[in-house]
Amino acid sequence: MTHTDGKTVDRAAIWNTRYQNKSAAAGQLSDELQEKLDQLPIGRTLDLACGDGAAALQLAASGHQVVAVDFAKEGLKRLQVFAAEEGRVIDTHQLDLSVTGSLSALGCFDNIVILRYLPDLSLLQQLPALIEPSGRLFISTFNLEHHRQTGFSQRFCLKPRMLCDSFPQLKLVEYENGAEEGRPLDNYLFQK
């Protein structure tokens, strides 16, 4: 639950309702994000804040052993339906990512993927410990151009180069500032 202007907001309930009201079709990743996922070596991969699983499904189709985590049970239910329809096995977990250490029981990963979600600093600081040596962390999320185009809250948007120095244990392999080209996403690829 989040407190805003003295009101308590149940974010999980809001997202669960959104997923219940979505069409029966699985979501699709943009071609750009599909290409980026190809930079991740096949392995055990965590899709963090997976929603209803567009990335998890793409990763599983590419041969990854996918663990998908979200706080919205309805999104995870949709993901399991889509995975079954495609004959894929995806290990899903409903977790509150605001709880410190919530990911620790899942073990370590060859890759961690975060799409269209900006974790808070405490969660970001936990991620390097969950990555195997030579493992990768890929983050593609909204930037200030997305705010400018849609009015989406700046609070959940990346500022230019915001994460470049956030992981001293990881090497920055690639950074793309989408806002410079009028695109709503910034991309970061790190390696341990």
Token pair 């990346």 is at which residue?
158
Out of 3.30.830.10, 1.10.1610.10, 3.40.50.150, 3.30.70.1230, which CATH number does the structure's domain 25-191 have? 3.40.50.150
Sheet strand arrangement including 91-94: 91-94, 65-70, 44-48, 109-115, 131-142, 185-191, 171-176
pLDDT-derived band at 1, boundaries 50, 70, 90: very low
The pLDDT score that the predictor gives to residue 13 is 77
- For 166, other C-beta atoms within 10 Å of its C-beta total 16
% of the chain exceeding 70 in pLDDT: 94
- Range with the lowest mean pLDDT among 1-10, 26-35, 97-106? 1-10
- The domain limits of the chain are 25-191
Q: Nearest to residue 80, comparing CAs of 47, 48, 57, 110?
A: 57
